[in-house]
């Protein structure tokens, strides 16, 4: 009975909670925040543990550097002793015995070159290299000159100065790391005291600010919901930007709405991409000759129309080359249509490889091809056609061997239309065939 009464009270509280507005729901947070006073101090305790862990991590990098600095001081003394021993024994070969300790110093310094002490370590490396090089050079000179040469006093003085500088830099780095280790430890206790001192004040400030923040969050949510509605309306009316996605990050009901809309946009985007690709494929099939993969007659007619309009408006000249493969019917009759198709592919490839980027190549029909030469007069077009004729003439076609082609050229005039352009180019082509084929003929009215 008591269990049923308890469940009844729970259901009543849930019903009351669901009947509240969003703002009132949010204002419940500061009230329940009063219950967080005790957990707040536990939170401070865990923060202190994290701070201590952070200090330990920092010291884990400082302590090895401090130890390396102490080790470098000892290694520096060993190097000095090794060089002094070589000088005392007058054995130049013994000097190289110090290289092992010098390499250890370099290794210790370079290991921490990318730490927060890069400047100090770089100075130490430079000073050490200067000292070590001079120490070896001076020692060799002393041995070779039996302890006497003109600048021995000056060299020795500079060497001692270099040694003292290196020793000071090594000791400074050791004391600097040691000092920072102590600072890190002391900072832990100082920050803990500050947290404990101001902890109570933070709670009351939090309670006041939380009410303001919750109100602002409510306004922000209202704005985001309105944005979702606006974007949804854009989708509904077909004015959607397929690159756009809702960027609201949330894990409540609002987040579910956002994810659903984004999924919907993604599906629309994919469908749109499929339709676009299908349209591009259809457009390509509409304007491209399937055998030779050059423009077909539909596209060429469109290009000629455009070029005529440009000529009338901007006075941009253009020319047309009409090309016909000589005796192509004989190829089909002798070798079959499959070989004939292969010859057409090879022939079109020669044309594509030798025209300019600004030219348009198309298959006019059967074994006839056409080239639209933009902003090119008859002279320039003739040079292009003659080059194409030579390339075709020297090419060794599959099975057939050598074949030739005839060319008819026409430079467009102001009074021309689509039909007259082709008709005049065709007249020139006919003249080229009548003159014996394998020729380039320009239309001459």
The pLDDT score that the predictor gives to residue 346 is 96
- The predicted model gives 405-412 an average pLDDT of 96
Among 205, 222, 252, identify where a domain stops: 205
Q: Is residue 30 part of a domain?
A: no
Q: Is residue 170 part of a domain?
A: yes
282 shares a domain with 307: no
198 shares a domain with 51: yes
Of residues 66 and 164, more confidence is placed in 164
- Residues 304-337: pLDDT tens digits? 999 999 998 888 899 999 999 999 999 999 999 9
396 shares a domain with 260: no
- DSSP secondary-structure letter at 290? T
Q: How confident is the model at residue 85 (pLDDT cuts 50, 70, 90)?
A: confident
Q: How confident is the model at residue 399 (pLDDT cuts 50, 70, 90)?
A: very high
Which of 4-13, 194-203, 374-383, 400-409 is the least confident region?
194-203
Q: How confident is the model at residue 65 (pLDDT cuts 50, 70, 90)?
A: confident
165 shares a domain with 252: no
pLDDT of residue 250 exceeding 60:
no
**Positive or negative: CA dihedral 436, 441, 397, 344:** negative
Phi, psi angle pair for 435, to nearest 5°: -85, 5
This prediction's pTM: 0.44
Q: How confident is the model at residue 123 (pLDDT cuts 50, 70, 90)?
A: confident
Task: For residue 377, give the CATH number of its domain.
Answer: 3.30.70.270
Phi, psi angle pair for 292, to nearest 5°: -95, -10
Q: Is residue 266 part of a domain?
A: yes
The pLDDT score that the predictor gives to residue 179 is 79
What is the secondary structure of 365-434 as a DSSP string? ETTEEEEEEET--HHHHHHHHHHHHHHHHH--BTTTB---EEEEEEE--TT--HHHHHHHHHHHHHHHHH
Q: How confident is the model at residue 365 (pLDDT cuts 50, 70, 90)?
A: confident
191 shares a domain with 72: yes
Rounded to the nearest 5 percent, the helix, strand and coil shares of the chain are: 75, 10, 20
Q: How confident is the model at residue 253 (pLDDT cuts 50, 70, 90)?
A: low
Task: For residue 148, give the CATH number of its domain.
Answer: 1.20.120
pLDDT of residue 183 exceeding 60:
yes
Catalytic residue among 367, 368, 386, 415: 367
298 shares a domain with 278: no
Q: Is residue 24 part of a domain?
A: no
270 shares a domain with 191: no
Q: Is residue 370 part of a domain?
A: yes
Q: Say how many residues make up the chain.
A: 445
Which residues form the domain of 97? 39-205
Q: Is residue 396 part of a domain?
A: yes
153 shares a domain with 87: yes
| Residue 375 CB neighbours (<10 A) | 14
67 noted as active-site residue: no
The domain tally of the chain equals 3
257 shares a domain with 190: no
pLDDT of residue 353 exceeding 80:
yes
The pLDDT score that the predictor gives to residue 171 is 86
253 shares a domain with 148: no
Q: How confident is the model at residue 238 (pLDDT cuts 50, 70, 90)?
A: low
Q: Give kind and range of the element (H or E) at residue 95.
A: none
pLDDT of residue 220 exceeding 80:
no
- The predicted model gives 71-99 an average pLDDT of 80
pLDDT of residue 31 exceeding 80:
no
The pLDDT score that the predictor gives to residue 375 is 92
Among 287, 303, 323, identify where a domain stops: 287
8 A C-beta contact, residue 246 and residue 231: yes
pLDDT of residue 155 exceeding 80:
no
Mean pLDDT of the chain: 79
Among 190, 205, 220, identify where a domain stops: 205
pLDDT of residue 247 exceeding 60:
no
Please give the share of the chain, as a percent, with pLDDT higher than 70: 70
55 shares a domain with 152: yes
281 shares a domain with 295: no
Q: Is residue 6 part of a domain?
A: no
Which of 30-34, 114-118, 245-249 is the least confident region?
245-249
Query: Which residues 6+ apart lie within 8 Å of 325 measured at CB?
Result: 331, 343, 344, 347, 367, 368, 403, 404, 405
Q: Is residue 66 part of a domain?
A: yes
């Amino acid at each position: 009975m008591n269990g049923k009464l308890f469940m009844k009270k729970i259901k009543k509280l849930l019903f009351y909670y669901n009947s509240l507005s969003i703002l009132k729901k949010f204002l419940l947070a500061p009230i329940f925040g009063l219950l967080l006073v005790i957990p707040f101090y536990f939170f401070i305790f865990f923060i202190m543990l994290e701070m201590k862990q952070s200090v330990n991590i920092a010291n884990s990098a400082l302590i090895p550097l401090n130890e390396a600095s102490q080790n470098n001081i000892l290694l520096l003394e060993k190097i000095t002793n090794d060089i002094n021993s070589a000088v005392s024994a007058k054995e130049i070969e013994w000097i190289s015995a110090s290289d092992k300790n010098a390499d250890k110093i370099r290794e210790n310094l370079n290991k921490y070159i990318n730490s927060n002490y890069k400047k100090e370590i770089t100075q130490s490396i430079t000073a050490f290299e200067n000292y070590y090089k001079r120490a070896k050079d001076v020692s060799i000179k002393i041995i070779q000159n039996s302890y006497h040469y003109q600048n021995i006093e000056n060299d020795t003085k500079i060497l001692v100065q270099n040694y003292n500088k290196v020793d000071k830099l090594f000791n400074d780095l050791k004391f600097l790391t040691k000092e920072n280790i102590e600072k890190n430890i002391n900072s832990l206790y100082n920050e803990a005291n500050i947290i404990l001192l101001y902890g109570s004040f933070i709670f009351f400030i939090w309670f006041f600010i939380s009410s303001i923040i919750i109100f602002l969050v409510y306004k922000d949510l209202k704005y985001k919901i309105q944005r979702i509605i606006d974007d949804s309306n854009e989708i509904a009316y077909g004015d959607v930007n397929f690159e756009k996605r809702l960027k609201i990050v949330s894990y409540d009901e609002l987040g579910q709405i956002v994810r659903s809309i984004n999924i919907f946009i993604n599906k629309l985007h994919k469908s749109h991409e499929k339709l676009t690709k299908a349209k591009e494929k259809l457009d390509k099939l509409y304007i491209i000759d399937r055998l030779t993969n050059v423009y077909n007659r539909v596209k060429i007619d469109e290009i000629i129309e455009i070029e005529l309009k440009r000529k009338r408006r901007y006075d941009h000249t253009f020319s047309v080359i009409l090309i016909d493969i000589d005796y192509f019917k004989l190829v089909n009759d002798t070798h079959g249509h499959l070989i004939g198709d292969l010859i057409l592919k090879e022939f079109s490839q020669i044309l594509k490889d030798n025209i300019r980027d600004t030219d348009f190549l198309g298959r006019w029909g059967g074994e006839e091809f056409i080239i639209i030469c933009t902003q090119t007069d008859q002279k320039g077009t003739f040079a292009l056609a003659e080059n194409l004729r030579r390339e075709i003439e020297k090419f060794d076609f599959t099975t057939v061997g050598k074949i030739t082609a005839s060319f008819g050229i026409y430079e467009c005039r102001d009074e021309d239309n689509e039909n007259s352009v082709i008709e005049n180019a065709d007249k020139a082509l006919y003249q080229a065939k009548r003159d014996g084929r394998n020729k380039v003929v320009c239309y001459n009215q």
